[in-house]
Chain A
Amino acid sequence: AAGVIQSPRHLIKEKRETATLKCYPIPRHDTVYWYQQGPGQDPQFLISFYEKMQSDKGSIPDRFSAQQFSDYHSELNMSSLELGDSALYFCASSPGPDQPQHFGDGTRLSIL
C-alpha cells in the first residue's frame, strides 16, 4: 500500500542557510501535518493543512513556513537555519481532520 513519502531522507545544511522539505501524502488524504522530533524527544506538532488551507498551527518558528499545493503535497520551508533546528522532521497525512495519521519516515536535517 502507498505510504507517506518524504524527501529528502537526509539533508545537511550550514547555519543561516535555507532548506525545503517535501511531503507527498497517501492518495486521497487531504490533511497533512508536520512534526519536529529532536533527539530523544517526542514529536512536536508544527503545522497542519486541510484541503490546501492551514488548519492548525503549533510550535512552528517564524523562520519556517509551509504550504499545501493543489495536488495535496506539502512543503516546509526553513530559513536562517540554526543549530537547534537539527532534528527529524516528520510529515503525516490523514483522510480528514481527526482521522488516524499515517507518518512518513521523516527527513533528518543536520545543521553544521
Chain B
Amino acid sequence: KNQVEQSPQSLIILEGKNCTLQCNYTVSPFSNLRWYKQDTGRGPVSLTIMTFSENTKSNGRYTATLDADTKQSSLHITASQLSDSASYICVVSGGGSQGNLIFGKGTKLSVKP
C-alpha cells in the first residue's frame, strides 16, 4: 500500500536552533518527493521538489535530502525563526495525471522565542 509516514508528529524548538524532520515512504512507482510548508488555514507552499536522482536540494534555510534506496527523506531547517512555525508536509508523487500524490500527515513545528 502506498504510504508516506512522517516523524515526529510535533516538535517544539527554540528560535535560532536547527531541526530535522523525517519522511519515510512506500510509494511505487516513484516520480518525485516534495516538501510543503502549510501555515494554519492556508494552502501548502512548496519548499523543495526532488526526483529519483537528486540527493539534496536547498531553498534558503531549508535543506532536503533524499535516499531513494532506503526511501527516506529529511528536511533540515537551520537557524529557525518564529515564522517557521507551521506544518511541514512530505508529499510523494507516483506519476500520472494527478501525480498520484500521497500526502504525509505532516510534522507540526512550533518555534518558541
Contact = CB atoms under 8 A, between A and B. Distances in A.
A56 interface: yes
Contacts of A102: 46
A103 B103 CA distance: 14
Nearest to A58: B98
Interface string B27-65: 000010010100001111110010000000000000000
Interface string A12-53: 000000000000000000000100000001110100101000
Interface residues of B, number: 22
B8 interface: no
Interface in A55-112: 55-56, 58, 88, 90, 92, 94, 97-98, 100-106, 108
Interface residues of A, number: 25
Interface string B94-106: 0111110101111
Contacts of A105: 41-43
Contact of B105 (A42, A48, A103): A42
A108 B41 contact: yes
Given A98-B93, A100-B34, A45 B98 contact: yes
Interface string B75-113: 000000000000001000101111101011110000000
Nearest to B103: A42
B89 to A, nearest CB: 7
Nearest to A91: B43
Interface of B: 31, 34, 36, 41-46, 49, 89, 93, 95-99, 101, 103-106
23 contacts: A33-B98, A42-B103, A42-B104, A43-B44, A43-B103, A45-B101, A48-B98, A56-B96, A56-B98, A88-B41, A90-B44, A97-B98, A98-B93, A98-B97, A98-B99, A100-B46, A101-B99, A101-B101, A103-B36, A104-B43, A105-B41, A105-B42, A106-B43
Interface of A: 4, 33, 41-43, 45, 48, 50, 55-56, 58, 88, 90, 92, 94, 97-98, 100-106, 108
